[in-house]
């Protein structure tokens, strides 16, 4: 695991968190008035949405002006400003209301959408919020994976890096421990040692031996061959010298040829 990768993930996590504005964010809240839930229908759902306790409703919108003047909702097309309209209705469970900026009778700009499910009002997230939420969830999962992976990483100067998992410890504990018989020496070592001992024994024979443990050691008598006297050695040395110095007998010449008598 490289340090640069961890820093990159943390910076990405910080940037995504900074891009999400939690102040004045209505995506995490909901509103419901249980008294209205049994009687909700497409005709009164905008009145239900315009309750004063509803945090999603803007009091400065054109719907308030129409309500105060006791006009119909058709007059909203002739006004300019923020307004709320019923976009979709699926009785009795789902209603969708849109908040938009009216610029002309034929031109408006959507600002936000709200959906009512079983009387509970939620704000629908926009595309930027959805992407930020998905990116935040992905980065959080990646960061958690990096942290967990780093907790299993081990390092030692002599061994280097390796992974040490908790399951591995449990497996090692549950494994039956079998002790391997360690041989004192190999066949090659024993053969070499025996050869060296025999060589040393021939060069340096023991001076004592002990027939039984606990008994007194007995000295070993080493039989030495009698050395020949010095005069005999000198005489043997002289004999080959005299034999080699005696002159060889002269060789006989070939017989002379005699002339034949006629």
SS (H, E, C) 129-160: HHHHHHHHHHHHHHHHHHHHHHHCEEEECCCE
State phi, psi for 218 to the nearest 5 degrees: -110, 130
Segment 177-193 mean pLDDT: 69
Chain mean pLDDT for the chain? 77
Q: What pTM was computed for the model?
A: 0.47
Find out if CATH 3.10.450.580 is the number for domain 29-124.
yes
**Tokens 């009164």 correspond to what residue?**
44
| Pairing assessment for the beta strands 31-32 and 81-90 based on DSSP bridges | unpaired
Neighbours of 202 (CB within 10 A): 8
Confirm if 79 and 102 have CB atoms less than 8 A apart: yes
* pLDDT at residue 76 tops 50: yes
Predicted confidence (pLDDT) per residue in 7-56, tens digit: 555 555 555 444 444 445 788 899 999 999 999 999 999 999 999 899 99
Segment 161-180 mean pLDDT: 72
Segment 181-202 mean pLDDT: 75
* pLDDT at residue 210 tops 80: no
Q: What is the pLDDT of residue 109?
A: 93
Give 232's pLDDT tier (boundaries 50, 70, 90).
low
Segment 171-188 mean pLDDT: 67
* pLDDT at residue 216 tops 50: yes
Q: What is the pLDDT of residue 30?
A: 93
Q: What is the pLDDT of residue 86?
A: 93
**Tokens 């964010």 correspond to what residue?**
25
Instruction: Compute CA 31 distance to the chain's CA centroid, rounded to the nearest angstrom.
Output: 47
């Amino acid at each position: 695991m490289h340090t640069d990768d961890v820093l990159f993930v943390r910076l990405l996590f910080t940037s995504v968190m900074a891009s999400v504005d939690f102040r004045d964010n209505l995506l995490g809240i909901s509103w419901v008035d249980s008294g209205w839930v049994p009687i909700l229908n497409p005709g009164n759902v905008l009145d239900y949405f315009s309750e004063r306790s509803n945090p999603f409703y803007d009091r400065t919108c054109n719907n308030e002006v129409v309500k105060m003047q006791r006009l119909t909702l058709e007059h909203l097309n002739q006004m300019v400003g923020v307004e709320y309209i019923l976009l979709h209705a699926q009785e009795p469970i789902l209603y969708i209301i849109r908040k938009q900026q009216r610029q002309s009778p034929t031109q408006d700009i959507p600002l936000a959408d709200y959906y009512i499910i079983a009387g509970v009002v939620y704000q629908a997230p926009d595309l930027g919020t959805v992407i930020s939420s998905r990116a935040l969830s992905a980065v959080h999962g990646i960061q958690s994976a990096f942290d967990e992976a780093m907790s299993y990483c081990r390092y030692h100067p002599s061994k280097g890096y390796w992974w040490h998992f908790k399951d591995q410890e449990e497996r090692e504990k549950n494994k039956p421990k079998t002790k391997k018989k360690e041989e004192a020496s190999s066949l090659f070592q024993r053969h070499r040692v025996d050869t060296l001992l025999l060589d040393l024994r021939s060069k340096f024979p023991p001076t004592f031996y002990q027939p039984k443990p606990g008994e007194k050691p007995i000295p070993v008598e080493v039989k030495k061959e009698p050395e020949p006297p010095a005069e005999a050695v000198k005489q043997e040395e002289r004999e080959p010298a005299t034999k080699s110095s005696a002159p060889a007998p002269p060789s006989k010449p070939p017989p002379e040829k005699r002339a034949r008598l006629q």
